[in-house]
Structure 1
Amino acid sequence: MGGCAEPVTDPGLIPTPARWDGRHRDAPAWSAALLVSLRSTGAPLLRSRPADRAAFCPRHDHLSPEERAAVWLMLFSAVAELESGFRPGHTHRESFTDDFGRPVISRGLLQTSFESTRHYDCDHASAEDTHNPVRNLSCGVRIMTHHVEREGRIGGTPATPASGGGAYWAVLRPGHRERPLERIQARTAAHPLCRPAPAGR
């Protein structure tokens, strides 16, 4: 059928590029761990139809759950690129405090904070756990799943910038001078599975 390719069901045949490929020695392990989290705690993401899905992947609705996992891998790696530059040890002191008035420190690949992890049932016993790439990515999947399920979108809108994933990550909010949301959308949409199929196939 012109413009529509059949979903790939064999995971071994699905392309799984990520923004960190070739830029960190642990990139393959990060991708493998993130895919495991997406297939388990992130399963609702693979079934979801966020309102802004076409901005991230124009072919979203034609993809199988396994293919969508590969696209979410690209999306999360694009978020990590802007949040931490793929530096697991990176920290950033936020301008707000936790429930006890203490400064909130964002940490690791996806810049999650230990102060907020308890709200998402993340497996973190200490702040140092947020620097563990596998735990950081797993927590990020839990956070994204929570907000996409609750608000039905991935990024924020001009009217409600802190909605969807934008409720947690500023890079998923519109209106920034550096246009991080648009950059993440473009990098995710460049995934081979999101490009239109050749005519006649």
Structure 2
Amino acid sequence: MLGVLAGPLHAADTVLPDKPVGVALLRSATVQGNIVTASVLAPTRSLRPQRRIDRLPATRWQDVNKGPTWSRAALSALSAHAEPLARTVPQDVVDWCPGYASASLADRRAFWVGFLSALAKHESTYRPEAVGGGGRWYGLLQILPATARGYGCKARTGAALMNGAANLSCGLRIMTRTVRRDGVISRGMRGVAADWGPFHSAAKRRDMATWLRRQSYCKSVPYVRPVARPVDLASN
């Protein structure tokens, strides 16, 4: 941007103002007679929009090509139709995530994304195109199309359920209903366990729970008892 100032920058008969005058920083200036042409200093920071840095929770699919996309889709569902799931405290949640009850809503959502990834490891080994049960179950979480339709999922066919994001969204819709209905994640083979086979295997339950309990969003925050002030200080 160029600016034109009339008169020299300095002359012998120049009268200085009584108060300071703000001036623009200049990159360069040229003088021709009494005309000064100045180039205003360019901004030091780019005006281009900065790229958003995702802070995605730890998952078991985070090194899979589409893993980050699946995590974002799950987080989106947990802020929409599956938000009641994150606001629910299942009776057996301490078996899966010791810090869940006192965790922030963001950490609770993170837990459920990690939970989905742990389940997907055993259901499909993170393959959205997986079809099991002789053509009955589809996608990351191996969902039966009839079950998807029964719970009101948008993905209602085998082909639709092979879209990773749609499959997870449907899975969260189902879990929101069953966990709130039964009040548990898997105890007594109710809650999530009512619809997903891996929970019926002690080894698979142990594998999923052990991994989840190690994650930062499942760590309990230790309670620190306040230290009583000395009597002489408390009276001041």
Please give the TM-score of this superposition, normalised by the length of structure 1.
Answer: 0.79
**3-state SS, counterpart of residue 132 of structure 2:** strand
The count of corresponding residues between Structure 1 and Structure 2 is 173
**Structure 1 pair 80–196 and aligned structure 2 pair: CA distance change class (3 A):** same
Give the whole-Å Cα distance in 2 for the aligned partners of 1:154 and 1:140. 13
Query: Which of 186-195 and 76-85 deviates more?
Result: 186-195
Q: CA RMSD in A?
A: 2.2
Match of 1:184 in 2: 208
Q: How far off its partner does 1:134 sit?
A: 0.9
CA contact (8 A) 1:156 1:165 kept: no
Q: 1:121 aligns with which of 152, 173, 188?
A: 152
- Given the alignment, which residue of 58, 72, 76 partners 2:98? 58
Quick one: which of 19, 22, 27 aligns to 2:67?
Answer: 27
- 1:155-186 CA distance string (max 9 Å, x none): 132xxx2x11011001123xx26x11121111
Q: Does 1:88 align with 2:128?
A: yes
Is 2:57 aligned against 1:16? yes
Work out whether residues 148 and 156 of structure 2, in 8 Å CA contact, stay in contact via their aligned partners in 1: no
Unaligned regions of 5+ residues in structure 2, if any? 1-52, 226-236
- Aligned equivalents of 1:14, 1:72: Cα separation in 2: 15
Higher radius of gyration, 1 or 2: 2
In structure 2, relative to structure 1, the CA distance for the partners of 1:15 and 1:133 (3 Å cut) is closer
Q: Is the alpha carbon distance of 1:198 and 1:48 closer, same or farther for their aligned partners in structure 2, counting shifts above 3 Å?
A: closer
Q: Work out the CA distance in 2 between the residues paired with 1:194 and 1:124.
A: 31
* CA shift for structure 1 position 196: 3.6
1:144 Cα deviation after fit: 0.6
Greater RCO, 1 or 2 (C-alpha within 8 Å, sep 6+) = 1
1:171 is aligned to: 198
TM-score computed with the length of structure 2 as normaliser: 0.68
Greater helix proportion: 1
| Distance in 1, Cα, partners of 2:56 & 2:164 | 22
